Chain A
Amino acid sequence: MIRALLLSTLLASPALADEIWVTNEMDDTVSVIDVATLEVKATYPTGERPRGVTFNRDFTRLYICASDSDAVQVMDPATGEILHDLPSGEDPEQFVLSPDDRLLYIANEDDAITTVVDTQSRKVIAQIDVGVEPEGMGISPDGRIQVTTSETTNMAHWIDTETHEIVANTLVDSRPRHAEFSPDGTQLWVSAEIGGTVSVFDVATRAEIAKISFAIKGVQPEKLQPVGMRFSPDASKIFVALGPSNHMAVVDAKTFEVDRYILVGRRVWHMTLSPDESKLFTTNGVSGDVTVIDMATLEPIKTIKVGRFPWGAAARAMP
């Protein structure tokens, strides 16, 4: 018994570096990046067309939207084994986990529905009709409001998580891709890929308080297509992936001005921060790689080859 414990401690200790898990949409795999070595240490098979990806709070479960398998898969990150599927509705693309770690709000892209699944009972507890091609999924830090954006209806749908009913619909620019609440819950940020803008809403009044546009010298304005977004740990900045312009924008969260642009891989979609908050990892769909950005200098420091069409990214903190 003691020997076994010692052995497991010995085996576990070299593997304590944090990890970044990346879904590869066209390879049906997830790549596991070691944050210390910045190398891919494992690749695990998933269902078909994996896109959205997130960990539960204690990092013991990885949820994966396997879009073409019509399932949310639950993986044990310790082994890479798929434990079971959750009912997800058809074509789950992206989702968000409630702050209490229990409910997944899933965008069913082909069905114009937001599906709410209880991860413990493994049952669908609500389905909400939203606009065509729901994609962006945000949830307020207190868990009271879930926002689904619909790409073809061009709206943010504000859903009350008590009643699971839409309480408001806000028109945004063309093809909204991502919804992100500010960490204090007072603002909602929505990116519009074809509109080329990011809209900022006051959550209390749902009024638009700012609209951010982008401009990079030498890049056609049509290519500046905002997709994924992420706040910096101190909430002073927000990082915006600008798709086929192959750049990230760093936006000042107070002034709504773009501070700088960072060159990354081709068609940058989403991103995640390392658990120690020192590095940002972006998924670059077309170039099939991940760019690592140093958070202190805001410079790209490495490109890591992953699978084909990396889409989502989630960070796993190790104990």
Chain B
Amino acid sequence: MRRIIHAALIVLACACGAGAQPMRIDWLERQVTPPPVLSNMQSVPEQLGLDGARLSLGDIATTGKFTGQDYALRETVVPPAAPFLPAAQKLLAEGARVLVVKAPAQDLLALADLPEVRDALIFNTSAPETDLRGANCRANVLHSLPSYAMRADALAQFIQTKRWTRLALIQGAHPEDQAFAEAMRAALTKFGLTLAGEKTWLFDANMRRAAAAEVPLFTQDLPDHDLLLVADEPGDFARYIAYNTWTPRLLAGSEGAKPLGWAGVVEQNGAAQLQNRFREMTAREMQAADYAAWAAIAAIGDAVTRAQSTDPASMRAYLLSDKARIAGFLGRPLSFRDWDGQMRQPIPIVTERAVVALAPFEGFLHASNELDTLGPDRPETKCTAFGE
């Protein structure tokens, strides 16, 4: 089911209007082969992320029609086996200066450390590692995707507002599972909650046949809990946990109530309009990676319009300033933290059918912006690259 495009390099240019100097925005994607999961019925959309970028380019190009600013999206997709950096360097040599990137953390960092991108602006739309906004942050990288820490903080606030105090955790064996589990542990501590017990899922059986038999036994020896947290970021086993646990319990994390940057069920604050436009264009639901790409290009468009410059340094300065108030259909203005380059954003807690709640929650106070209760705040940041 998982198709990989083996084309060497796909470069598409969008001819958007007939302005004098279209501003060039690069979509740079490193394809990865997703790990095998226990169900093949829901595949990852081939143009996950890119679809959001394309929709957003259309939006800012419409604005540009009235301001006299043209935009062109250059799309480069590097297949899993092909070398990433040479592809990136070719674009930079051609004059790429604003890059919207979908790539794993190590590729992103290798790109950000190239000497020729020192004066460029990179948007990370797919790597959730909290570390990329911490000790491994880079001054030329802004992040429109929420970090693991932001999602975990949103969930912990939600759990706290529900007064669910007895918690257990199951985590998978993938590095992403460990990273999200670690973020959830840290978030529980941050908001005064504790974990009563935890287990790691190591089974390799085919759960479509054996879930009913395996999961009750697996969950039997967990200490009593109100809510079972699950860290299964690739979407492997957690779908078989619900309704099969030893005691009937709610799930949250990677399954059940999920803290996500975006989902197809987000509807309020005008989101229905964005969802309609996305569905009309792609015939699928908009996901968090699509939204991150959409938001990155919306931020670029806003910066160009408001700062009246296509220069990466001016755009970056505007986005990190308190002047930035980007409309992102989540009910609060989006902006970027000037200590780690992370986009401030509300985090919806969603099920398959509805938004259960929208973090941050009332009562989690902050001196300047409640959105900064999600993820590392200025006093605790480990990022030093932004201290200019």
Contacts and interface: CB of A to CB of B under 8 A. Distances in A.
Interface of A: 91, 109-110, 112, 131-133, 151-155, 157, 169, 171, 173-175, 193-196, 220, 222-223, 244
Contacts of B136: none
A173 B62 contact: no
B332 interface: yes
Contact of A151 (B67, B327, B331): B327
B325 A174 contact: yes
B305 interface: yes
For chain B, which range describes its interface: under 10, 10 to 19, 20 to 34, or 35 or more residues? 20 to 34
Contacts of B331: 244
B325 A110 contact: no
B327 A155 contact: no
A153 B63 contact: yes
Contacts, number: 64
A301 B280 CA distance: 45
A151 B371 CA distance: 23
27 contacts: A110-B276, A110-B277, A131-B63, A131-B66, A132-B63, A133-B273, A151-B327, A152-B62, A152-B63, A152-B327, A153-B59, A153-B62, A153-B63, A154-B63, A169-B66, A171-B305, A174-B302, A174-B326, A174-B327, A174-B333, A194-B325, A194-B332, A195-B333, A222-B370, A222-B371, A223-B332, A244-B331
A222 B305 contact: no
Interface in B62-111: 62-63, 66-67
Given A174-B333, A175-B270, A222-B332, A155 B63 contact: yes
A224 B270 CA distance: 16
A169 to B, nearest CB: 4
B21 interface: no
A194 B63 contact: no
Contacts of A110: 273, 276-277, 280
A220 B59 contact: no
Could you say which of A155, A194, A196, A223 has the most chain B C-beta atoms within 10 Å of its C-beta?
A: A194
Closest 9 CB pairs of A and B: A194-B327, A175-B327, A169-B66, A153-B63, A174-B327, A222-B332, A194-B333, A132-B62, A132-B59
Given A175-B270, A222-B333, A222-B369, 8 more contacts: A131-B62, A151-B327, A152-B59, A153-B59, A153-B63, A171-B305, A174-B327, A222-B370
A110 B275 CA distance: 10
Contacts of A244: 331
A154 B305 contact: yes
Contacts of A220: 369-370
Contacts of A131: 62-63, 66
A80 to B, nearest CB: 27
